[in-house]
Structure formats: structure tokens, C-alpha cells
């Protein structure tokens, strides 16, 4: 694959360029308490598994699926974001080894980079700041007004519009979850790659329709840049 074929790489954060290290599940436990779920038992286990299965999706969407009332979902989501932000502030956020270098190589090869997430824009901003990644990408995007989170294609299509890529066939996407793959396929990306550094394993990523499986974001950069 020649670097001239791909103009834009849309790359996930947690689990793809940022090591998760259980932070999402840890923050979920606080959110589950705020939402009134029992501290243990089948209901709690079901909710925890649902969070794992839907990794990559907008967190408010996940909590709306878990709780019957909007105010409860909003309370749980706010607690999740606060808990995750506190973990970031405590120095728990670490990049995937080689991630910064891989993104730099992509940009050096003429491919624009958009970093996307299922977190809120505020939490994404705190994560970017904690990592010192203010200049690492051409664009950072999170779900918000007019931009739905995964598995919808909005983040990828918005990145295409804002970076001026020629078409969806000039876009490559990378993520660690089935939702990332579904979003890329819905958007029509030329590459819908799954990485093995995050929430979902190879079997789940292949089942979701991944066009490529890579061991890390470094291998993703190699894939796009190889001559």
C-alpha cells in the first residue's frame, strides 16, 4: 500500500494509542454505584460485561442502554467522566509503546492524523494534556452535538471533511474494538484495521469485519507507509 493512496488516518485513543490498563472498567464501577446498581450480583456483572462488549462507543450511549431514565444515565456518565479524569490526573494514563512515533511517521509520510474517542470532548482534552500530545495530530474529535459516537460513522466522516481528504477510499481507520471496525465500515474506509493492544481480541475484530489486524499502532503505520 503506497502512502499516496491514503490521505487520512483516523485513530482511536484508549486501547489503541493509549494503554487502557483497566481504567475504563475502574471508572465504570464508580458510575455503576452512582447509577444505583447493586455492588455485586448478576445485574452488576451484566452491566460490566455490556461495558466491555461496547468498548469504543460513546459512553453516554452506553449508560442510556444500561439505565431506564435519562437523569440516571446522565448521572452515571458524569461520574464516569469524573472518575476517569481523576485517574488521568493521578498519572495513570500511559501511551501505547511506540504510539507517538507511529503517528509522527504517518504525518511525516504525508498522511494526516485524526485522533478520536468515545469519551466526552472535555475528557479527551484532559487525556491529550496528560500525555503532552497537543501537537501530535492534525485533528482531535469526540462525540458531541451533531457528531454521534461509534458505531456511527460520524467521527470518521467529520474528520474527512475537516482535513479535506478526497474520499472515504483515501481514509484508513484503526481501533481496538468491534465498534471501531463497524464505524469504519459504515464510513466506507479503504482500511478498517483492528489492533490487538486493547479491549477486543482478534476473533472479535475479525468477526466485526476488520480488513486488517495489526499488533499495534506501529504496525498500522508500517502498513500504510510501506512501499
pTM beyond 0.85: the answer is yes
Fold of 8-20+94-226: Rossmann fold (3.40.50)
Q: Domain-by-domain residue ranges, the chain?
A: 8-20+94-226, 23-90
pLDDT tens sequence for the chain (227 residues):
444 489 999 999 999 999 987 888 888 899 999 999 998 899 999 999 898 888 878 888 889 999 989 999 999 999 998 998 888 888 888 999 999 999 999 999 999 999 999 888 988 998 999 999 999 999 999 998 889 999 999 999 999 999 999 999 999 999 999 999 999 999 999 999 999 999 899 999 999 999 999 999 999 999 999 84
HEC string for the chain: CCCCCCCEEEEECECCCEECCCHHHHHHHHHHHHCCCCCCCHHHHHHHHHHHHCCCECHHHHHHHHCCCHHHHHHHHHHHHHHHHHHHHCCCCEECCCHHHHHHHHHHCCCEEEEECCCCHHHHHHHHHHHCCCCCCCEEECCECCECCECCCHHHHHHHHHHCCCCHHHEEEEECCHHHHHHHHHHCCCEEEEECCCCCCHHHHHHHCCCEEECCHHHHHHHHHCC
Amino acid at each position: 500500500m503506497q502512502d499516496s493512496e491514503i490521505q487520512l488516518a483516523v485513530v482511536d485513543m484508549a486501547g489503541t494509542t493509549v494503554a487502557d490498563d483497566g481504567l475504563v472498567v475502574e471508572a465504570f464501577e464508580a458510575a455503576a454505584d452512582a447509577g444505583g446498581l447493586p455492588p455485586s450480583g448478576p445485574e452488576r456483572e451484566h452491566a460490566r460485561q455490556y461495558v466491555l462488549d461496547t468498548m469504543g462507543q460513546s459512553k453516554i450511549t452506553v449508560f442510556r442502554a444500561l439505565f431506564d431514565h435519562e437523569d440516571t444515565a446522565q448521572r452515571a456518565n458524569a461520574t464516569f467522566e469524573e472518575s476517569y479524569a481523576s485517574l488521568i490526573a493521578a498519572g495513570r494514563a500511559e501511551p501505547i509503546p511506540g504510539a507517538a512515533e507511529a503517528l509522527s511517521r504517518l504525518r511525516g509520510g504525508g498522511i494526516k492524523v485524526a485522533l478520536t474517542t468515545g469519551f466526552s470532548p472535555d475528557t479527551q482534552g484532559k487525556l491529550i494534556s496528560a500525555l503532552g500530545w497537543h501537537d501530535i495530530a492534525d485533528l482531535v474529535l469526540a462525540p458531541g452535538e451533531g457528531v454521534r459516537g461509534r458505531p456511527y460513522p460520524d467521527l470518521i466522516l467529520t474528520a474527512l471533511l475537516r482535513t479535506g481528504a478526497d474520499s472515504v477510499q483515501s481514509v484508513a481507520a484503526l481501533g481496538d474494538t468491534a465498534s471501531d471496525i463497524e464505524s469504519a465500515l459504515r464510513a466506507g474506509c479503504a482500511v478498517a484495521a483492528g489492533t490487538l493492544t486493547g479491549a477486543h481480541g482478534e476473533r472479535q475484530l475479525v468477526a466485526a469485519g476488520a480488513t486488517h489486524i495489526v499488533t499495534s499502532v506501529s504496525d498500522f503505520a508500517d502498513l500504510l507507509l510501506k512501499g
